[in-house]
Amino acid sequence: MAIGIEALLLVGLGGSIGACLRYLVSGTVPLLKGLPTGTLLVNVIGSTILSTLTFLSEPYASFHLINIGILGSFTTFSTFAYESFKLLEEGRTALFVSNITLNLLLCLSGVYIGQQITSLI
């Protein structure tokens, strides 16, 4: 599969936008009793938007820009994994479990919400 220059540029542009949005959102949301809520928030927002666009099941020109570029760099699974590991390493087991549980349940809820939004369209 050949990657076109236009698609590559759209992914790059979207990636820089998503990275900046991630920095702004996760950097401004305070910890909630030690829980990294900024990362949780971007993961939930990203899951909801990505699933809404995907469940629309219609091809659109902005796929590379939005899905791969913006949302790919906006969501933060690697940060989530690192922050979870640090909580465990620091002996904060309750926060470790809470962080994993909330990310999993809320992001799956975001996917469900995205699917429900598309059924209304």
Q: What is the pLDDT of residue 3?
A: 76
CA 107 remoteness from chain centre:
8
Q: How many Cβ atoms sit within 10 Å of the Cβ of residue 101? A: 10
Point out which residues pair with 64 in neighbouring strands.
none
SS3 label, residue 36: coil
Binding site for Na(+): what residues are annotated? 72, 75
- In this predicted structure, what is the pLDDT of residue 78? 82
d(CA 85, CA 20): 24
Kindly tell me if the per-residue pLDDT of 1 is higher than 60: no
What residue numbers does the annotated binding site cover? 72, 75
Instruction: Give the Cα separation of 39 and 32 in Å (integer).
Output: 11
Is the torsion defined by CA of 7, 12, 16, 18 positive or negative? positive
Q: Is 13 helix (H, G, I), strand (E, B) or coil?
A: helix
pTM of the model: 0.81
Cα distances from 101 to residues 37, 65, 74, 106, 107, in angstroms, run 13, 30, 20, 8, 10
Mean pLDDT, range 42-59, rounded to an integer: 86
- What local confidence, expressed as pLDDT, does residue 61 receive? 65
Rounded to the nearest integer, the mean pLDDT of the chain is: 90
